Structure 1
Amino acid sequence: MQRTITRVLLAVFGLVEAVVGIWPLVSPAGFYQDFPGFRVGWVAMDGPFNEHLLRDFGGLNLALAALLIGAAVIGTTAVARLAAVAALLFGVPHFLYHLGHVSHFERIDQVLILVTTGLGVVFPLVVLLVPGRRVSRPATP
């Protein structure tokens, strides 16, 4: 069984991914212009608008969200670790890309982009490293 911290991390990370997944599906142009919402233009500054790419990105983030939230609900360590591996397979290349492509942003945006994409690596690593909760076996008479 998972520890409570693992379930919380999976649920929070899943909810964040759900927002990042739904937004470009509902409004690809809005996501392109306004992501992340509190600072604008992170996506727009990185290249021309591509609705197909944004809808694919939204769908994949929504799928990742379903896996993360599902793992939190199911509650087993094996499923949590599977979800963490899936998140790392997305998060590591995403972070590495941004690590080398932030020079055209303002300094505050550089920091925010690297911190937020870095969390996409740190959260799943924590889920992988937190040991599962031991299930005690009933004493035999």
Structure 2
Amino acid sequence: MSARVLRSGLVVLALIQLVVGAWTLFFPASFYNDVPTVDWTPPYSEHLFRDFGSTTLGIGIVVAAAAIWLERRLVIVALLAYLAYSLPHLVFHAHHLEGESSTLSAGLLAALILSVLLPLALLALVLKPSPQPTVT
């Protein structure tokens, strides 16, 4: 596996966080009303959603920086920060799937599982001892 694979994975994770973070920070009511499953656990709180959006945006910035510089320590910290969000998010939703549709619940669960597996795979890649370093 190469630096290209690592960088590509980091870019995907960063884009997800940056889009979700910006949407939630700047348009919290839209995020609450328009993203399926978010309104399954009311009530809506603009304060909470703006805080979530800014935090998500911050994680996205750190992951984007890791994708740009590919410095080993920065990549590890960025992936751990991503997992600090995505793993509890998966666990919460796995226990709260009683929404409108079983298809939507299954899709949500699949996406959340991938949101944990991708950073874990990238973390394994960057932690793997290699005779030729893929990151600096």
TM value normalised by structure 2: 0.88
Secondary structure at the aligned position of 1:48 is classed as: coil
Corresponding residue number in structure 1 for 2:70: 75
Once structures 1 and 2 are overlaid, which stretch shifts more, 11-20 or 109-118?
109-118
Alignment of 1:115-134 (within 5 A): 115-130=110-125, 131=128, 134=132
Q: Which residue identity lines up with residue 16 of structure 2 in the other structure?
A: V
Secondary structure at the aligned position of 2:33 is classed as: helix
Q: Which has the larger radius of gyration?
A: 1
Alignment of 1:39-118 (within 5 A): 40=36, 42-118=37-113
Q: Which residue identity lines up with residue 3 of structure 2 in the other structure?
A: R
Distance 1:27 1:79 in 2: 30
On the 8 A contact 1:25/1:54 being kept in 2, the answer is yes
In the alignment, is residue 14 of structure 1 matched against residue 9 of structure 2?
no
Q: Deviation per CA, 1:46-74, whole angstroms, max 9, x where unpaired?
A: 21111011001101110010011100001
Corresponding residue number in structure 1 for 2:23: 23
The alignment yields a C-alpha RMSD, in angstroms, of 1.5
Distance 1:99 1:105 in 2: 15
State the number of aligned residues. 129
Give the C-alpha shift of residue 126 in structure 1: 0.9
Distance 2:44 2:80 in 1: 30
Give the C-alpha shift of residue 132 in structure 1: 6.7
Structure 1: state its 5+ residue gaps. 136-141
Distance 2:48 2:33 in 1: 14
TM value normalised by structure 1: 0.85
Higher helix share: 2
Q: Which residue identity lines up with residue 19 of structure 2 in the other structure?
A: V
Structure 2: state its 5+ residue gaps. none
Distance 1:128 1:62 in 2: 21
